[in-house]
Amino acid sequence: MTHSAPGSPNLSILSFKGGFHGRTVGLLSVSNSRALHGIDIPTLKWPKADFPRYKYPLGENQDINRAEDLRCLEILEDTIREQILKRMPQWLV
């Protein structure tokens, strides 16, 4: 992060696509509900992952929803893995 003390950890926040968390710069960086909320505001490049979109009624769509869970978990794991690799010193990669 910029404007942080020397030796500060390189942290970020992971958010889910489609979420709205507020209108401050930090919160807009993790919000994804509408592009209009972030127009002309420089936001932080924090990672975003898909959130499951379930099919209803839940009882009749368990297999479809389980597959959606697995799809989103795979994306989440890949996103976290990417972020870890981006933050590793070059000699560790």
* Residue range 25-83, pLDDT digits in tens: 666 656 665 554 555 666 667 788 999 999 999 999 999 999 999 999 999 999 999 98
Domain ranges for the chain, please list them. Answer: 15-92
Task: Give the three-state DSSP class for 43.
Answer: coil
Helix residue ranges, H only, 21-61: 25-30
Q: What is the pTM of this model?
A: 0.67
Question: How many Cβ atoms sit within 10 Å of the Cβ of residue 55?
Answer: 13
